[in-house]
Amino acid sequence: MAPTRYVIAGGSAAGLAAAQAIRELDPRGLITVLSAEAAAPYYRPLIPFIIDGQKTVADIALLGQGPYTAPGIDVRLNATVTAVDPAARTVTVNETETVAYDRLLIATGSRPHVPPTIKGTDTPGIYALRTLADARDIAGRVGSAQHAIMAGGGMLNLKTAFALLECGLDVTMVVTSPEVLSQVMEPDGAALIRDALEQAGLRILTGRNIAQVLGGPDGVRGVRLDTGEELPCEIVCIGKGVRPNVEFLAGSGIKVDQGVVVNEYTACHVSGVYAAGDVAVTFDPITGQRMMTALWTNAVEMGRCAGRNMAGQPTAYAGTFGILNATQVAEVPFVSMGIVHTAGTNYETHVAHTADTYRKLVFSEDGDRLIGVVFVGDINHAGLYRHLIRERTPLNGLKAAVIAHRLHYGHLLRW
C-alpha cells in the first residue's frame, strides 16, 4: 500500500503540532508542510524578544526543539497555498504549482487587523507585529527612534512595548477601552497590572483612539488621536486583533463562516480536509458557542488533535476556552480563563483583593459550577481551577474550598 500523502497548509503552531502527531502514529506517511513565510517555523509568542536582542532566531526555532523533533517532515518555505481543489485532492502553491494530497490540514493562521478608521497606515514605521520579519524590521528602526506608540492594550502589544522600553525608547500605549487587557479581564482586575506597567515606565492613555498617522520624510513622525492630541513617535505598533486567512478557499466548497467550520473531530464538510488553529471555527466548552481564538496553546492542542484524526485515530477535540491566558507582565503574573466578563449577567461572582493580589471567581447562575477565574499576583494552583472549568465539574461540597482559595490536588482525587 502506498504511503498516505499528508499536506499541511501553514507552518506555525497548529501545523507543526499536527505534523508531529501524524508522524507519531504513521511512520511511513509523506508529510509536507507548506509555509508562506521565508523563515523556518518559530515560536511566535517570543518574537518581541527579537526586537531588544533577548532572543536570537535560533532561540525561538520550532523544528528540532521541544516536541518538534519528528523525523521526515518536509517543510517548504515561501510556499503559499493559493487554492484548494477537494474534488481533485490538490492544492495550488504560489498560483502555479499543484501538490496532491490524501489528507489536507488548513492551518493558515491569521493576520493582523488594521482598522480602516486609522488614516495613514501605509506610512513607513507602522507595524502590526505578527511575524519574525516584522520583528526584524522594528529592530532595524529602533536605532533611529526615540518614541513609540502602541495602538491597543492586548498581550502582544504589551510584550512589544516592554521590548521597546528595553531599547531605551519612550513608549505610550493608546487604548480604546477603559483599561489594558480588556479582552481577558474587566477593569478592576487590570488595575494592579496597570500600576506595574506605569511604574516600569509605560505611559498609558485609555478611552482614546488613533485617528491618523502623521508622516514625514523618514516615515512616521507622530499620531493624532481622536481627541485632537498629537503625540510624537517614529514607530507605531498596531495590536487590534486578527482576521483568519481564508480568502484562498473561495470556490473550493469548503465551508467558511468567518473561519473554516469544523466538527468535533476537526474535520471540514468535505472529505479528507481538516482545519486547526486561528483559522478554524471551533466551540467554547463552557458555553457551547461557536468561536475562534488566536492563542498559541489552543492552536497546538487543536493541531495535535487534527493530526491524530488525519492519521486515522479518531480524537474528539475538547473545545477551546474563549479566554485562556497565563503570563507575566511587568513582574506581575496573571491567569485569566473561561468566562470573566460578568457585567450585566446573572453569574455568581466572588472577588477578593489585597494590595498585591486580585482574585475573581465566576460561577454558573445556579452556583454549581466554576466557569471562569482571574488571578493576578498569586496564580498558585491555577491548573486545578482550569480542570474544574474545563471538565464542568459539579462542585457540591467543594465550593467553599474554591472560594476560600484552599483548593488542592487532594480535593480532585476525592471527586
Q: What digits encode the pLDDT tens for the residues 263-273?
A: 999 999 999 99
DSSP state of 352: E
The pLDDT score that the predictor gives to residue 319 is 76
Summarised one tens digit per residue, pLDDT across range 177-211 is 999 999 889 898 899 999 999 999 999 999 999 99
- All cell numbers assigned to 260: 473554516
The structure's pTM equals 0.90
- Kindly tell me if the per-residue pLDDT of 285 is higher than 70: yes
Query: What is the rounded distance in angstroms from the CA atom of residue 66 to the CA atom of residue 98?
Result: 32
For the chain, give the percent of residues with pLDDT over 70: 96
Chain CA centroid to CA 235, Å: 23
How many CA within 13 A on the CB side of residue 325?
24
Q: Could you tell me what percentage of the chain is helix, strand and coil, using 3-state DSSP and rounding each to the nearest 5? A: 25, 30, 45
Q: Using one digit for the tens of pLDDT, what is the confidence trace for 323-378?
A: 567 788 888 999 998 889 998 999 999 999 999 999 999 999 999 999 999 999 99
- Given a cut of 60, whether residue 151 has pLDDT beyond it is yes
Torsion angles phi and psi, residue 85, rounded to 5: -120, 90
Over the chain, what is the mean pLDDT? Answer: 92
The amino acid at residue 335 is V
- Nearest C-alpha neighbor of 252 from the set 93, 82, 102: 82
Residue 121 confidence (pLDDT) above 80? yes
- Each residue of 16-29: pLDDT tens digit? 999 999 999 999 99
pLDDT of residue 66: 67
Secondary structure element (H or E) that encloses residue 283, with its range: strand 280-283
Give the pLDDT of residue 298.
87
- Confidence at residue 288, expressed as pLDDT on a 0 to 100 scale: 76
Superfamily of domain 5-111+243-310: FAD/NAD(P)-binding domain (3.50.50.60)
For the chain, the domains span 5-111+243-310, 126-240, 339-414
Q: In whole angstroms, what is the distance from residue 67 CA to residue 114 CA? A: 33
Are β-strands 358-363 and 256-257 bridged in parallel, bridged antiparallel, or unpaired? unpaired
Q: Are 5-111+243-310 and 339-414 the same fold in CATH?
A: no
Residue 258 has pLDDT above 70, yes or no: yes
Q: Hey, what's the cell of 240?
A: 487590534
CATH number of the 339-414 domain: 3.30.390
**Which whole number is the average pLDDT over 43-49?**
94
Tens digit of each residue's pLDDT (9 = 90 or more) over 61-79: 987 776 777 788 999 999 9
What Cα–Cα distance (Å) separates residue 133 from each residue in 120, 130, 171, 177, 226? 21, 8, 21, 29, 30
> Distance from CA of residue 352 to its chain's centroid?
28
Q: Where are the alpha helices (DSSP H) in 7-166?
A: 13-25, 48-51, 132-142, 155-166
Check: CB of residue 374 under 8 Å from CB of residue 336: yes
pLDDT confidence of residue 406:
85
Q: Among residues of the chain, what percentage have pLDDT more than 90?
A: 76
Strand duo 324-329 + 290-291: pairing? unpaired
**How far, in Å, CA of 130 to CA of 107, rounded?**
15
Nearest to 292 by CA among 110, 170, 120: 110
Alpha carbon 336 to its chain centroid, in Å, reads: 14
* pLDDT at site 328: 83
CA distances from 200 to 94, 194, 311, 330 (A): 45, 10, 49, 7
Q: Identify the CA nearest to 240 among candidates 124, 114, 126, 117.
A: 114
Assigned CATH class of 126-240: alpha beta
Burial 295-327 (b: 16+ CB within 10 A, else e): bbebbbbbbbbbbbbbbeeebebebbbbbbbee
In sequence order, the 6+-apart residues with CB closer than 8 A to the CB of 276 are: 14, 15, 17, 18, 105, 106, 107, 262, 266, 299, 302, 303, 305, 306
| DSSP reduced 3-state for 42 | strand
Q: At 414, is the pLDDT very low, low, confident or very high (cuts 50, 70, 90)?
A: low
Q: CB-based contacts of 413: which residues, under 8 Å, 6+ apart? A: none
CA-wise closest residue to 363 among 409, 395, 397, 387: 395
pLDDT one-digit tens code per residue, 97-110: 999 999 999 999 99
Strand segments (E) across 226-268: 230-232, 235-238, 242-244, 256-257, 259-261
Residue 91 pairs in a beta bridge with: 84, 99
The yes-or-no verdict on residue 165 having pLDDT over 90 is: yes
Contact 25, 311 (CB under 8 A): yes
* pLDDT value for 183: 86
